[in-house]
Amino acid sequence: MSYYFVSIGGTGAKVMESLTHLCVAGLLPEKERLYIAAIDPDVGNGNLERTATALNNFAVFQNFFVGNDTTLFKNKISIVRPFPWNPTGHDKTLDDLIEFHHHSGTPVGKLYEVLYTKKERDTTLNEGFRGHPSIGSAVLAKKFDDDADRTTLTAQIEKTIGEGDAVKIFLAGSVFGGTGAAGLPTVARLLRNNLADYSDRISIGGVLILPYFSFTPTEHFDELFARSENFLPNTKAALKYYAEKENLFNATYFVGDSVLTPVGEFSVGSANQRNEAHVVELYAALAAIDFFARPLKAPKIFKYICRHERDKFSWSDIPASSERFVQFARFIFAYVHLIKPVLNDLISGSAKAYKYPWFVDFLDDVDLNAPDVVNFNFYAEAFAAWLKQLETLNGREVFLINPSMFEANPARLVDKKLFAALDGNKSKLTIHEVWYRLTEPFKFDSTIAGFGKFLRRLYDVCA
């Protein structure tokens, strides 16, 4: 079995960010490979860039050998290239992509002119479909199966199936914007059609993300862009479509929020569109994990998320065990607060190795400037920053990882005592206890060596 996750648009990319962190933490159900693909005409999107950075960091250090009997880094990730797949190319309009010049003056051309406004036809699509799914559906339907521009996603899935594997494919995107609203049904239908010969070996799931944020444009009033006042009407129309059409998904998940969280600075797209992580995206990533855990030919289902209290999120509202996630969070915070500063001092020569027995035991012969070590350092900081963003939801309380930890730098503990209550529960595992455990004798798999051996030990002592 192989898992495929396909993000569609900016919201899908943010779900991918959460899924990446859950995958690294070992929350996927089995030790299967996760293939990551992204579809987005806005290739410079800041949300996608941040996700891609975390993915590429993990791709470098995922081969640390940390033992066969652990959940740490158990799922390997492969990035489907090109990443992202851009169906529009550069500086193209809808007229360019549909090749309107071939149809001008014909009955087909006249119908096209009725269906699309002049502005929809003339706007360049470098920053996405701008809240107009009718544009996206036309482009995706044409380009996905274009021999000259055929996405490698279908080819990669066919290759996986040809090697004797079954495949679970999960799509994520919003139903209220442009790219996701256009791409979810279109890509699902195209995958069904393209992979019809393998229907007994594939299962397709999807998370339909309902409105959960809002924004106030400060300019661009003459431009084409998504407008938050249209989110609810767009969602209503989209859900009606899914209710009336034959269901394209073996499992459909609905995730949204009754309160729309205001985002920061408004941006039509590109690098300036860099919104903080949101708990809705965590739920959507958990929906992917739930789908991957289902039998390949399980009955079709529709699922939605609810919580116990209107203005509060806690572990009792999360459809997953907190134990493994909390252990991974402890592991990361122990590394960035306790270990990384020491390593930096040792690299700079301002500290002596003999003062740190765990360094002598595990890392004395390790190149701390090696790419895999450096990328793990970057990833650890990114994970901590992602946690901080999840815990700072406007107007509501989030009780997953203690938000008091984040009053200073997102990757630093304000108070060492907070480490023992990372998830809000009292624990005997203080930051000092982690240090002592690292220096204690232990039995270890002799096949594990290098930086992976140290990470495995640190992860174990954070249990």
72-108 pLDDT tens trace: 899 999 999 888 888 777 777 777 777 777 778 788 8
Provide the residue ranges of all domains of the chain, joining segments of one domain with +: 2-89+125-306, 322-461
Check residue 109 and give its pLDDT: 82
User: Taking residues 389-395, what's their average pLDDT?
Assistant: 75
Quote the pLDDT of residue 218: 56
Confidence of residue 323 (pLDDT cuts 50, 70, 90): confident
- The reply to whether CATH 3.40.50.2000 applies to domain 2-89+125-306 is no
Helix (H/G/I), strand (E/B), else coil: 289: helix
Cis peptide before 403 (omega within 30 of 0): no
Burial (CB < 10 A; 0-12, 13-18, 19+), residue 424, is middle
In 26-103 the beta strands, taken as DSSP E runs, fall at: 34-39, 77-79
Which residues have C-beta within 8 Å of that of residue 233, sequence separation ≥ 6?
none
Cα dihedral value 213, 214, 220, 225, nearest 10: 50
Q: Compute the mean pLDDT over every residue in the chain, rounded to the nearest whole number.
A: 83
Average pLDDT over residues 451-457: 94
- pTM, two decimals, is 0.88
Mean pLDDT of 320-326: 82
* pLDDT over 80 (residue 229): no
Strands 167-174 and 202-209, by their bridges, are parallel
CA nearest neighbour of 211 among 239, 184, 246: 239
pLDDT grade for 266, boundaries at 50, 70 and 90: very low
**203 vs 104: CA distance, rounded Å:** 41
Rounded to an integer, the average pLDDT of 371-393 is: 89
